[in-house]
Amino acid sequence: MDAVDQGRVAADRPRFRRVLLKISGEALMGDGSYGIDVDACNRIATEIGDAVAQGVQLSLVIGGGNIFRGLSGAARGMDRTSADYMGMLATVMNALAMQSALESMRRDTRVLSALDMNKVCEPYIRRRALRHMEKGRIVIVAAGTGNPFFTTDTAAALRAAELGCDALFKGTGVDGVYTSDPKLDPDATRFEELAHQDVLARDLRVMDASAVALMRDNRIPIVVFNIRTRGALGEVLAGRGSSTIIRN
């Protein structure tokens, strides 16, 4: 292998060894307005499988907003605690759908739930999750933290810290963090890099403030990218593509 080929291999090598990927439930809707689009789920699963094939130890947290969002349910008069538990169940449904897509591609996958439901998935135990990842399995952590009043953003940050992840990747519908909503403001500009404290001070709403603070305190970078763009996960893992990195 000559120097040019070695450089290409180095450029394609993932920057992070262990990553927690947070995906919104809406990413699984595809072009629909509700539920799970099988094609969208399969596309994301393919990219996740490719990342694992590159040697990345990967865990996932998937939101449930495509099925039910606890906060919006509470806003319509439902008891907040009950609404949040319903939202947790929605994340389990998404996790099982993603597991099915990954396993159809022969990717060994485990769903670990913060709520006990042994008929459909394993309980979340930190050491068990670590062991699965060390064996090359994809771990999908479902049901948030298992407690109401906490979002899946906070759950993702908590699991990233618990599992010793090198980075928290947040797959959204835009390719990074902007000065304002790029879908509404044509003059919005994207940040290449931010500090955790800047996100909190500017109230940029990338993630919940508690999630950003937890990543700051544990010195774990957050990488925000567009999960809807085909191939974006692999590009960002290799240090290319369009994204915003948030770090101390």
pLDDT digits (tens, 9 = 90+) for 94-113: 999 999 999 999 999 999 99
Mean pLDDT of the chain: 93
Average pLDDT over residues 58-63: 97
Asked whether the beta carbons of 197 and 144 are under 8 A apart, the reply is no
Average pLDDT over residues 118-129: 97
- Residue 75 CB-density burial (10 A; 0-12 exposed, 13-18 middle, 19+ buried): exposed
- Tokens at residue 240, please? 């290319």
1 has a pLDDT exceeding 70:
no
Average pLDDT over residues 71-99: 92
8 has a pLDDT exceeding 70:
no
Distances (CA, A) of 171 to 34, 44, 75, 243: 18, 10, 26, 10
Asked whether the beta carbons of 226 and 232 are under 8 A apart, the reply is yes
7 has a pLDDT exceeding 70:
no
Residue 13: the pLDDT is 66
* CA 223 remoteness from chain centre: 10
237 has a pLDDT exceeding 60:
yes
* Largest pairwise CA distance in the chain: 66
Produce one character per residue of 122-146: b if its CB has 16 or more CB atoms within 10 Å, e if not: bebeeeebbebbeeebbbbbbbbbb
Which pLDDT tens digit goes with each residue over 177-191? 999 888 899 899 999
Q: Between 38-53 and 80-104, two packed helices, what is the crossing angle to 10 degrees?
A: 70
For residue 176, give the 3-state DSSP assignment.
Answer: coil
Give the pLDDT band (50/70/90) at residue 2: low
Q: How far apart are CA 45 and CA 105, in angstroms?
A: 8
Structural domains for the chain: 3-246 (3.40.1160.10)
DSSP state of 124: P
Distances (CA, A) of 66 to 27, 51, 98, 213: 8, 25, 14, 26
163 has a pLDDT exceeding 90:
yes
Residue 9: the pLDDT is 45
- Residue 61 CB-density burial (10 A; 0-12 exposed, 13-18 middle, 19+ buried): buried
Residue 15: the pLDDT is 87
Question: How many residues belong to the chain?
Answer: 248
Average pLDDT over residues 206-221: 96
85 has a pLDDT exceeding 70:
yes
Residue 11: the pLDDT is 53
How many Cβ atoms from other residues are within 10 Å of residue 39's Cβ?
10
% of the chain residues with pLDDT over 90: 84
Nearest to 144 by CA among 170, 124, 164: 124
Produce one character per residue of 196-235: b if its CB has 16 or more CB atoms within 10 Å, e if not: beebeeeebebbbeebbbbbbebebbbbbbbbbbeebbbb
Average pLDDT over residues 20-44: 95
10 has a pLDDT exceeding 60:
no
Asked whether the beta carbons of 105 and 46 are under 8 A apart, the reply is yes
